[in-house]
């Protein structure tokens, strides 16, 4: 297997790890994966739905999918798995103490609040063509700005459907206990 394939499998194994008590009896059939870790595969219908959504949202928001296909594939697969498990595309890049409760809150539903308010995708699913996440709208001190610096938005007239919440938001979604 090539390095990209190993990275995707190892990343999916980490993203989708859950204690046995959290695994539903309705979960899709486990598939052997990444050094003995069994993982469920999402339904093809869910994968197709998530690919359609991601492509449409990238266009609508003036972003692109990550230029490394493995990055995009692992996030889309995680979204599809959450569609099967929860009926909603909960961000697969966070750890949740209670996925069901988090799904009801909406803040980490793709496209999450950070994407809708600041046009920042911590999963690196929705980025600029060069693969960098847009950080120019993030408040100072946000981890995205700390890591990437100020990365400008090449399409400032697209995306940010909830930008009006930026001024009123005293805490960011990433400041919660979900991570």
The answer on pLDDT for 148 being more than 80 is: yes
The answer on pLDDT for 171 being more than 60 is: no
Cβ proximity of 32 and 21 under 8 Å: no
Distance of CA 149 to the CA centre of its chain: 21
What's the confidence (pLDDT) of residue 24?
35
Could you report the per-residue pLDDT of 19-70, keeping only the tens digit for each? 333 333 333 334 444 455 556 799 999 999 999 999 999 999 999 999 999 9
What's the confidence (pLDDT) of residue 21?
35
Catalytic residue among 91, 93, 110, 112: 93
**Tokens representing residue 47 in the block:** 């994968």
The answer on pLDDT for 174 being more than 80 is: no
| Distance in angstroms (rounded) separating the CA atoms of residues 80 and 46 | 5
The answer on pLDDT for 141 being more than 80 is: yes
- Find the DSSP H helices in 87-126: 99-105, 113-118
Q: Is 127 helix (H, G, I), strand (E, B) or coil?
A: strand
Residue 123 is a catalytic residue = no
Could you report the per-residue pLDDT of 121-132, keeping only the tens digit for each? 999 999 999 999
The answer on pLDDT for 152 being more than 60 is: yes
Could you report the per-residue pLDDT of 82-137, keeping only the tens digit for each? 999 999 999 999 888 999 998 888 889 999 999 999 999 999 999 999 999 999 99
**Tokens representing residue 114 in the block:** 């950070």
Q: Taking the CA atoms of the chain, what radius of gyration do you get in angstroms?
A: 16
């Amino acid at each position: 297997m090539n390095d990209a394939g190993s990275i995707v499998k190892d990343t999916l194994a980490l993203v989708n790890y859950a204690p046995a008590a959290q695994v539903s009896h309705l979960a899709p059939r486990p598939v052997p994966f990444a050094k003995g870790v069994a993982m469920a595969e999402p339904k093809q219908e869910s994968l197709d739905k998530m690919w359609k959504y991601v492509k449409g949202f990238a266009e609508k928001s003036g972003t692109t999918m990550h230029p490394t296909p493995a990055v995009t594939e692992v996030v889309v697969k995680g979204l599809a798995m959450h569609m099967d498990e929860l009926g909603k595309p909960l961000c697969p890049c966070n750890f949740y103490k209670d996925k069901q409760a988090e799904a009801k809150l909406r803040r980490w539903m793709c496209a999450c609040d950070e994407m809708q308010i600041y046009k920042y995708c911590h999963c690196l699913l929705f980025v600029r063509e060069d693969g960098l996440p847009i950080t120019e709208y993030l408040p100072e001190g946000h981890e995205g700005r700390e890591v990437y610096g100020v990365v400008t938005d090449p399409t400032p007239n697209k995306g940010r459907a909830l930008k009006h919440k930026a001024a009123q938001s005293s805490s960011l979604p990433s400041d919660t206990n979900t991570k």
